[in-house]
Structure 1
Amino acid sequence: MSDAQPLYARVKDHIRENIRAGTWEPGRRVPSENELVESFGISRMTANRALRELSAEGLLSRVPGVGTFVKEPTAFSSLLELRNIAEEIAQRGHRYSARLIARSEVDTNAALAEEFEDRMLKRLFHVVIVHEENGVAVQLEDRYVNPLAVPDFLERDFQTATPTAILLAATPVDELEHTVEATLPTSDQQRLLGIGPLEPCLALHRRSWSRGRIATAATLTYPASRYALYSRHRTTARGTFPQ
């Protein structure tokens, strides 16, 4: 650390280096403001600024009345590709689990018929599933499936195979459509994801085509503090996708 650095920056570097080196693992309580004041000979305001800025950067999580903790790294999910969330979680060395909330066959109303671009479609399969990483809810899946794509879809065990894995094994994917929006959770989403009413969420709406028809439409809701969506692809020199 350089003596020319502002005091709050020196404290931030100290905390950041301990996290980067693995000395302070996710979930560990970091020194309090009072402890930092004593260790570095700084003011309480300086200590507060260091912890506040590291929290804003996503490295720390501050719990009022309890303390400040090293935050679990944000998990990432591909924005453009069709990825199985169970495999993503396993690749991070974490434990995947799922809670099946609803499973039913429903009548196709006008909105769903428009969603599937088929006014002759009378029935759809519907599932609602909470996907968990190390026991923490990271995605709420609300999915409709065309019975023509996977006739036995509702008979599957969704604790051992995700809907994405089932669909990929049953039918080829010709085309994907993704729309993302920032939302605040509904009361049901708060309950199922275990979050508060002001927790920002990312809602990924996905439609998948197979053999020329829409096979499934799903809304995947992620608590923004627990998950991020990303995409990285090669492009032309003008930033467009190669044809």
Structure 2
Amino acid sequence: MDQTPLYLQIKRFILQKIQSGEWPVGYRIPTEFELTDAFNVSRMTVNKAIRDLVAEGQLARRPRVGTFVCASEDKAESPLLDIRNIAAEVLQRGQHYSNKVIKQVALEADETVAIKLGVMLGSAVYYSEIVHYADDKPIQLELRWVNASYAPGYLEQDFTLLTPNQYLSENCPLSAIEHTVEAIVPDIHVRNSLRLSANEPCLLLNRRTWSGERLVSSALLYHPGTKYKLSSKVCV
């Protein structure tokens, strides 16, 4: 029996129709009432699926007319002013999440790493390098340095089963974030990891996180510029 939440099943159904071309750009999809009857679910469940797809740029609502398939930018989106588990983000979009752990080792902090984490030269540091995938397409290369004193169990984790973000959030509750975003020309390692073409742009998010007064983690998060965007919302 499929244990996937009902609203995600409906999202996948709609996305399959769009991606197969059966529902092309400009097509008016069935009404919420029609989908409610078809899936034998509440209208609230259908509404949740459609609202998510509108937010993701797959659908557009036209008051008193209907909901239509719109041209997709084919870009995943993450909130810039928040930290979310990338695995949960991918699954929420109705895609399959997977990753590949390239490295997971203990290091002694050199000058660059010591500055990143605010520790003394030679301090114990853990390092992980992971490529994250959505539907088997790479969407993020994550390079992360962690203060070993604050996350002693880091190297023991199986990051194919949970992400570093999830582990650190559960063991070192987030209190502050510092990050910068820039467009870069990626080096060959980043290009190969993300399967980028020679002239394809790359977004780099440089992020440091604190738990209380402790600087726990510093990460470089690389994304394909043509397939990813970062967003922010500020309430005033």
Common fold: TM-score over 0.5 = yes
Structure 1 position 222 matched with structure 2 position 228: no
Q: CA deviation at 1:115?
A: 1.4
Structure 2 residue ranges without an equivalent (≥5)? 1-22, 30-56, 59-70
Q: Is the CA contact (8 Å cut-off) linking 1:184 and 1:197 kept in structure 2? A: no
Question: Residue 173 of structure 2 aligns to which amino acid in structure 1?
Answer: P
1:40-55 to structure 2, matched below 5 A, reads: none
Aligned residue in 2 for 1:196: 197
Q: CA deviation at 1:73?
A: 2.4
Q: Is the CA contact (8 Å cut-off) linking 1:129 and 1:142 kept in structure 2? A: yes
Equivalents in 2 of 1:190, 1:103: separation in Å?
Answer: 20
Equivalents in 1 of 2:136, 2:28: separation in Å?
Answer: 23
Structure 1 position 84 matched with structure 2 position 85: yes
Structure 1 vs Structure 2: percent identity of aligned residues?
34
Q: Deviations over 1:199-234 (max 9, x none)?
A: 101000000011312100000000011110001121
Question: Runs of 4+ in structure 1 displaced over 6 angstroms?
Answer: none
Aligned residue in 1 for 2:109: 108
Q: Deviations over 1:130-156 (max 9, x none)?
A: 000000000000000111221010110
Q: Deviations over 1:175-220 (max 9, x none)?
A: 1001111001110011111112211010000000113121000000
Equivalents in 2 of 1:114, 1:211: separation in Å?
Answer: 19
Q: Deviations over 1:90-129 (max 9, x none)?
A: 1111100000011110110112111112226611000000
Aligned residue in 2 for 1:131: 132
Question: Residue 27 of structure 2 aligns to which amino acid in structure 1?
Answer: A
Question: Residue 182 of structure 2 aligns to which amino acid in structure 1?
Answer: E
Structure 1 residue ranges without an equivalent (≥5)? 1-16, 24-57, 60-69, 236-243
Aligned residue in 1 for 2:45: none
Aligned residue in 1 for 2:25: 19
Question: Residue 144 of structure 2 aligns to which amino acid in structure 1?
Answer: R
Tell me how large the CA RMSD over aligned residues is. 2.3
Matched position secondary structure for 1:19? coil
Equivalents in 2 of 1:173, 1:199: separation in Å?
Answer: 33
Specify whether residues 135 and 102 from structure 1 end up closer, same or farther in structure 2 by C-alpha distance, changes over 3 A only.
Answer: same
Equivalents in 2 of 1:20, 1:151: separation in Å?
Answer: 53
Aligned residue in 2 for 1:167: 168
Q: Is the CA contact (8 Å cut-off) linking 2:102 and 2:128 kept in structure 1? A: yes
